[in-house]
Copies of this chain bind each other. A is one copy, B any other.
Amino acid sequence: MDELTHFDEQGAARMVDVGDKPATRRSALAAGRIRMHPATLARIRQGGADKGDVLGVARIAGIMGAKRTADLIPLCHPLALSRVEIAFAPDLEASAIDCQARVETTAPTGVEMEALCAVQVALLTIYDMCKARDRAMSIEQVRLLEKHGGRSGHWRRPDQA
């Protein structure tokens, strides 16, 4: 397959026709991380209802970000998501916070972009809330881990196996 499906034979961008594909159950799992100064990580981990829950805010932003995917990514199909979940885990050795997003739908096309969008918006929100302390944080390894459903079936990232 040499062609990019988002272009027609003249090279014009298009929202790919999925009208002949059946609506089936689909899920996607994406991940990413934000690296930061160890003191910033310590401050986030101390947080909570009384000291400021950075990850709680980022989780909400990520969930809402998943719902805005078709507004942001030009050729994405609008989809009615049936599930969005976001999890965070600190990685002390790497001085980072890992984020995973799982998104599901029943639709003729998949939700990879929605899961990736959720991760990106969640990580950007962490950056925003901590940037006054630590401007040099960086977002890394934003990638798809796994997807189910659709014509291409189950896919799992090779280096995750």
* Also in contact, A108 and B120, with CB within 8 A (given A63-B75, A132-B5): no
Residue from B67, B84, B116, B133 in contact with A1 in the complex, judged by beta carbons closer than 8 Å: B133
Q: Decide if B139 touches A135 in the complex (CB within 8 Å).
A: no
Q: Decide if A75 touches B142 in the complex (CB within 8 Å).
A: no
Q: Decide if A74 touches B78 in the complex (CB within 8 Å).
A: no
Q: Give bound CA distance, A147 to B131, whole Å.
A: 12
Q: On chain A, which size bracket covers the interface?
A: 35 or more
Q: Decide if B73 touches A128 in the complex (CB within 8 Å).
A: yes
Q: Give bound CA distance, A67 to B100, whole Å.
A: 26
Q: Is A94 positioned at the interface, with any CB of B under 8 Å from its CB?
A: no
Q: Give bound CA distance, A107 to B10, whole Å.
A: 30
Q: Decide if B53 touches A53 in the complex (CB within 8 Å).
A: yes
A residues bordering B, Cβ < 8 Å?
1-2, 4-8, 10-19, 25, 32, 43, 47-54, 56-57, 59-61, 63-68, 70-87, 104-108, 112-113, 116-117, 120-121, 124-125, 127-133, 135-144, 147, 155, 157-158
